Structures are given as C-alpha cells and as structure tokens.
C-alpha cells in the first residue's frame, strides 16, 4: 500500500514537472533532462501495464527499460556539462570528449562481460553492470562539482537543481544496487521503500529548482579555466608538431 502510494505520487510530480516545462518552455533549455524525465514517466506506465496484463514478461521488460534509462542518464550528465561549461567552449569540448570516451569504455566493458557470461540475463549480472555505469556517472558529476568549486564558477538555480537531484538519485542508486543482489531479504524489503521515497524527494528538488527558467549567473571574477585550456591546447599542438617533425626525419632516406 505504501509503495503504491509513493509510486502514484512520483507519477503525479513527474507529470507536473513536464507540464510546467511545456508552459515555461524549459524543454528548449534542457532537452536531454526533460526527455529523460518523459522517458521515466512513460517507463513507469509501461511497466505498470505489463505487470497487470502479462506478468510473465515483466522481468524482461523491467531490465530492458532499466538499461535504456541508464543510457538516458548518460545524456543528462552530458547536458549538465554542456550547460555548466557553456561560457568555456574549449573546456566544454575537452570535457565532452573525455566523457564520451569514459562512457564508451564503461559500456564496452559491460557489453563484453555480459556477452561472456552464459547467464547474461540473470538479475545479479544486470545489477552489477548497471552499478558500474551509475558509478561512472556519479564520478563525472563529482569531477564537475570539484571543477566549479576550484574555479569559483557559480551554479544557476536550474543547473543546481538538476545536478543536486540527479546526484542524490545516483548516490542512492549506487547504495541500492550494491546490496540489491545480496540475500538480505529484510534489508531489501526496507530499502525498496527507501528507494521509492528517495526518488520522490529527488522529484521535489527538481520541482523546487525548475519551476521557472533561471539562467546561469556570470562569474563575478575572471575565470582562468579557459585561459589554462588554451595554453594546454597550444602546448599539446606544439609537441605534436615536433613529434611529426622528428618522425619525418627518422623515416627520411
């Protein structure tokens, strides 16, 4: 009963957030985030219908949609970087490339491990793979927060809400996935309610911070971030040119 109540409350807040985004045209500012939220909302309805209409298919549908949700979450992390580093195009480009490399590496590792496991569709294996990708997402957000704090870059209200809410969701998910495959029935029963309740709190954080559009504030002082990136890029370019020159001399007859 408690679980159903929390589930319907989450659905209502998600619908409210989506309706508010349409009204205030927030979709244009954060398309990946709201696409993710729309996916989660539709995912919940789809799982609910499958569970009551064809319960024998529910487990397969659950893990397929769960994996799609993890991939959609990667897009949210990219958008947080895009919005947060919008004023620093060089740094943003470097960060996007690094993120893409890390996510592809994690996804390739997960795919190889899944393919080599004859029980690839087992719950324990799927939980381990999802945990790995959630940890990568959490580390990416922690790196961005550290960057902003080090250079005193201000967080806008909307970006702070998306980052805080999704960060809380990732932290709770890592804890949940770390223990979900254990044979601790009492813990799993308790944490299933905590899991649902914490997501409801995440939705409230998003509703509070994303009720209307608030652009990111400009830094009060000059930020050295982009200047340092330009120097690093120039130094790297010079080293590559020197390396090409040495290589040309070495192969020249």
Tell me how far apart the alpha carbons of residues 28 and 5 are, in angstroms, rounded to a whole number: 32
CATH number of the CATH domain containing 49: 1.20.1070
Tell me how far apart the alpha carbons of residues 238 and 243 are, in angstroms, rounded to a whole number: 9
Tell me how far apart the alpha carbons of residues 14 and 240 are, in angstroms, rounded to a whole number: 50
200 and 226 housed in the same domain: no
Tell me how far apart the alpha carbons of residues 12 and 199 are, in angstroms, rounded to a whole number: 13
Domain that holds residue 251: 222-253
Tell whether the model's pLDDT for residue 185 goes beyond 60.
no
165 and 42 housed in the same domain: yes
207 and 227 housed in the same domain: no
Q: The whole model's pTM is what?
A: 0.82
Task: Identify whether the C-beta of residue 30 lies closer than 8 Å to the C-beta of residue 223.
Answer: no
208 and 236 housed in the same domain: no
* Mean predicted lDDT score pLDDT of the chain: 79
Task: Identify whether the C-beta of residue 80 lies closer than 8 Å to the C-beta of residue 141.
Answer: yes
pLDDT digits (tens, 9 = 90+) for 41-65: 999 999 989 988 888 888 888 888 8
Task: Identify whether the C-beta of residue 91 lies closer than 8 Å to the C-beta of residue 81.
Answer: no
86 and 197 housed in the same domain: yes
Res. 85 pLDDT band, cuts 50 70 90: confident
Q: How many structural domains does the chain have?
A: 2
227 and 102 housed in the same domain: no
């Amino acid at each position: 009963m408690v679980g159903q109540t929390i589930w319907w409350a989450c659905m209502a807040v998600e619908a409210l957030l989506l309706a508010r985004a349409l009204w205030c045209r927030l979709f244009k500012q954060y398309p990946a985030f709201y696409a993710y939220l729309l996916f989660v909302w539709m995912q919940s309805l789809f799982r609910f219908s499958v569970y009551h209409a064809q319960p024998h298919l529910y487990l397969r549908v659950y893990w397929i949609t769960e994996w799609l949700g993890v991939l959609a979450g990667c897009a949210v992390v990219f958008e947080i970087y895009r919005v947060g580093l919008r004023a620093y195009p060089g740094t943003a480009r470097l960060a996007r490339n690094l993120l893409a490399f890390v996510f592809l590496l994690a996804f390739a590792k997960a795919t190889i491990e899944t393919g080599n496991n004859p029980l690839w569709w087992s719950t324990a294996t799927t939980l381990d793979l999802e945990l790995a990708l959630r940890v990568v997402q959490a580390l990416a957000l922690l790196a961005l927060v550290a960057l902003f704090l080090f250079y005193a870059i201000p967080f806008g209200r909307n970006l702070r809400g998306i980052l805080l809410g999704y960060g809380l969701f990732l932290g709770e998910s890592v804890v949940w996935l770390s223990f979900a495959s254990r044979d601790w029935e009492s813990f799993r029963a308790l944490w299933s309610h905590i899991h649902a309740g914490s997501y409801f709190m995440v939705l409230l954080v998003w509703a509070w911070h994303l009720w209307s559009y608030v652009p990111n504030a400009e830094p009060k002082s000059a930020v050295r971030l982009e200047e340092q990136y330009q120097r690093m890029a120039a130094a790297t370019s010079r080293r590559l040119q020197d390396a090409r020159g040495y290589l040309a001399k070495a192969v020249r007859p």
